[in-house]
Each structure stands twice: as structure tokens, then as C-alpha cells.
């Protein structure tokens, strides 16, 4: 019998594939969210937090996940890219 190690015994191949896909989607989603403002005066953490909170309040969470796209569009309208 071949020793596969503890990590290989915990996840079956379909579960490993699913977990890798989920990790990729999360990383991609985090990299798409705008975090740089076109105006240098607004390009700071305080303004970012205020604008992000404003967009989050304007577009509350939805089961479909559409709120993420709407929040990104809202941030783009505020000058964040």
C-alpha cells in the first residue's frame, strides 16, 4: 500500500478541485475590487472606507451575489479603479 500522506487522505480529488476553484474565485474577487482613486487627494484609507461603506449601504447583500458587482460599479463612479 502506498503512503499518500495526511493531506491526500483528507480530500478526495473532486473535493480538492472544488476547494481549489473556490480559492481561485476568492482571490480573483479580491483583486478586482477597486482600491486606487484617480484623484490623489482622495487616495487614502479614510476616503476609501467612507466610500466603501456608502456603497455597501446603497447595495445591501443579496443571495444572488449581485450586490458585489453593484458595489464595484458604485466605487468606480466615485473614482476608484
pLDDT in tens, 12-66: 777 788 888 777 777 766 667 898 999 999 999 999 999 999 999 999 998 888 8
Same domain, 40 and 68: yes
**63 with 25, same domain?**
no
- Which residues constitute the domain of residue 44? 33-81
* 27 and 37 share one domain: no
Q: Based on the structure, what is the number of domains in the chain? A: 2
What are the C-alpha distances in Å from 15 to residues 7, 29, 33? 12, 21, 28
Q: How far apart are CA 22 and CA 3, in angstroms?
A: 27
Are 45 and 13 found together in one domain?
A: no
38 contact partners, CB below 8 Å, separation of at least 6: 79, 80, 81
**pTM summary value:** 0.64
68 & 55 share domain: yes
Q: Do residues 44 and 80 share a domain?
A: yes
Amino acid at each position: 500500500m502506498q503512503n499518500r500522506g495526511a493531506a491526500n487522505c483528507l480530500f478526495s480529488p473532486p473535493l480538492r478541485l472544488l476547494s481549489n476553484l473556490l480559492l481561485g474565485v476568492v482571490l480573483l474577487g479580491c483583486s478586482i475590487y477597486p482600491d486606487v482613486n484617480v484623484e490623489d487627494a482622495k487616495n487614502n484609507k479614510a476616503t476609501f472606507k467612507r466610500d466603501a461603506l456608502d456603497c455597501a449601504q446603497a447595495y445591501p447583500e443579496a443571495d444572488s451575489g449581485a450586490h458585489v458587482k453593484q458595489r464595484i460599479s458604485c466605487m468606480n463612479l466615485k473614482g476608484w479603479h
